[in-house]
């Protein structure tokens, strides 16, 4: 496990070790730099997804320092401006996961090579896992 307190402090973030896994929350600007710093210390990613909190939307990345040590990275986006740096230059494997997060939540990852819908069909409108998405739709295929 790398020195997470130093990594978080170097990227204007906070470290919370009270939970089950260490949690690092950083501002949007240092999202990719944090991932790059962790990747340079041998950390690899396992998942990238989002959480819609209503007022804000959180981009969450689960990364692993070893097979038994998992770290949670998080950045908080306001509802109106859902843009964050893509982690694709750091871990190319986030490709489809960021496409899914874009498809379901509408977060635009800048620097992603092919940010198109992956689960829904191309003509679909809206992002279905957002809180504001209507629960029941009556449109036909």
Partner 1 sequence: MGLTDSAERPGFILSTVDALLRWGRSHSMWICNAGSACCSLEMLAAGGPRYDMDRFGTMVRASPRQSDILVIPGPITKKMAPVFTRVYNQMAEPRWVIAMGSCAITGGAFRESYSMTKGADTVLPVDVFVPGCPVRPEALIYALLLLRKKIQTTTTVGESHREPVYLPPVLPPEWTAEVDAFLGEGEVCAE
Q: Which stretch binds partner 1 (CB under 8 A): 8-16, 17-25, 63-71, 125-133?
A: 125-133
Count of residues touching partner 1 (by CB under 8 A): 12
> DSSP secondary structure string, 21-57?
S-EEE--GGGHHHHHHHHHHTT-EEEEEEEEE-SSEE
Q: Using CB under 8 A, which residues numbered 105 to 124 contact partner 1? A: 119-121, 124
**136 binds partner 1, rule: CB under 8 A:** yes
> Smaller CB distance to partner 1: residue 88 or 102?
102
How far apart, in Å, do the first and last CA atoms of the chain sit?
Answer: 49
Q: Which of 15, 28, 79, 133 binds partner 1 (CB under 8 A)?
A: 133
Q: How far is the CB of 11 from partner 1 (least distance, A)?
A: 36
Q: Using CB under 8 A, which residues numbered 46 to 85 contact partner 1? A: none
Query: CA-based Rg of the chain, rounded to a whole angstrom?
Result: 16
Pairing of strands 56-66, 69-78: antiparallel
Which residue is listed with tokens 């990613």?
Answer: 45
**135 binds partner 1, rule: CB under 8 A:** yes
Contact 59, 75 (CB under 8 A): yes
> Smaller CB distance to partner 1: residue 79 or 133?
133
Binding site for partner 1 (CB under 8 A): 119-121, 124, 126, 128, 133, 135-137, 140-141
């Amino acid at each position: 496990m790398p020195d997470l307190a130093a990594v978080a402090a170097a990227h204007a973030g906070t470290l919370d070790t009270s939970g089950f896994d260490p949690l690092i929350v950083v501002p949007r600007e240092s999202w990719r730099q944090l991932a790059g710093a962790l990747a340079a210390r041998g950390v690899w990613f396992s998942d990238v997804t989002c959480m819609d909190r209503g007022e804000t939307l959180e981009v969450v990345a689960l990364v692993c320092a070893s097979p038994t040590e998992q770290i949670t990275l998080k950045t908080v986006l306001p509802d109106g401006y859902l843009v964050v740096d893509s982690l694709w230059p750091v871990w190319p494997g986030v490709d489809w996961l960021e496409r899914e997060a874009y498809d379901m939540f509408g977060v635009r990852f800048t620097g992603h090579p092919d940010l198109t819908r992956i689960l829904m069909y191309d003509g679909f409108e809206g992002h279905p896992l957002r809180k504001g998405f209507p629960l029941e739709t009556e449109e036909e295929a």
